[in-house]
Amino acid sequence: MARASVGSGTVVEAGAILHPAVTVGKNCYVGSNAVLSHSVIGDHVKIGAGSVIGEPGFGFEMTGDGAVRIPHIGIVLIADSVSIGSCCAIDRGSLDNTIIGEHVMIDNLCHIAHNVTIGPRSIISGQCGISGSATVGTGVAMGGQVGVAPHVCIGDGAVLTARSGVTKNVDAGEQVAGFPATSSRQFWRDQAVIRRLSKAKSSGS
């Protein structure tokens, strides 16, 4: 059975588990109690304590007997200089691979589902969830608790403000807010109208 491969200068903290055939590059850091399987990790990558990378995703088909899990045969590919916080989950691909580009920064408590692609230099803040087969472009910024629906495409340089619920594609350079996420300008105009209507109702009662 193939053993895990660990590059020179890499630190693996106490309790971390590297399953067979995992490859970790040079000068990486794997935090305490992290679990790595079905993954190829580049150089200068930081993985926080308790993160789980390479487990099967939440893929299933409904049958007469209920949900049946779909086998996953893809892996997780993590490019150089990626930073992954503590207690994150990055699922292996089902048919394709899950891909994290260079210099991506992922905060604590994030979930990245199977077959997701995240472009270089994107920033994913705490408690974000990216559903299966979503594509995130280069230089995208996600605020805390953003949720992205399956198969959605986020264009390069887009900004998803905190707690946005993204249910459809976002154009490159666009800034969105709210649920369902819409243009930030439109969202804040709508909020201003709601506040004015609320004040008018209160003063008239």
Catalytic machinery residues: 114
CA-based nearest residue to 29, from 3, 49, 5, 55: 49
Q: Quick one: residue 3, left, alpha or beta (phi over 0 = left, psi -120 to 50 = alpha)?
A: beta
Give φ, ψ of 22 to 5 degrees. -70, 140
Backbone angles phi, psi at 192, to 5 degrees: -65, -40
Distance separating alpha carbons of residues 176 and 152, to the nearest angstrom: 14
CB-CB contact of 164 with 176 (8 Å): yes
Residue type (1 letter), 90: I
User: To 10 degrees, the CA torsion angle through 179, 182, 186, 190?
Assistant: -20
Pairing of β 46-47 and β 29-30: parallel
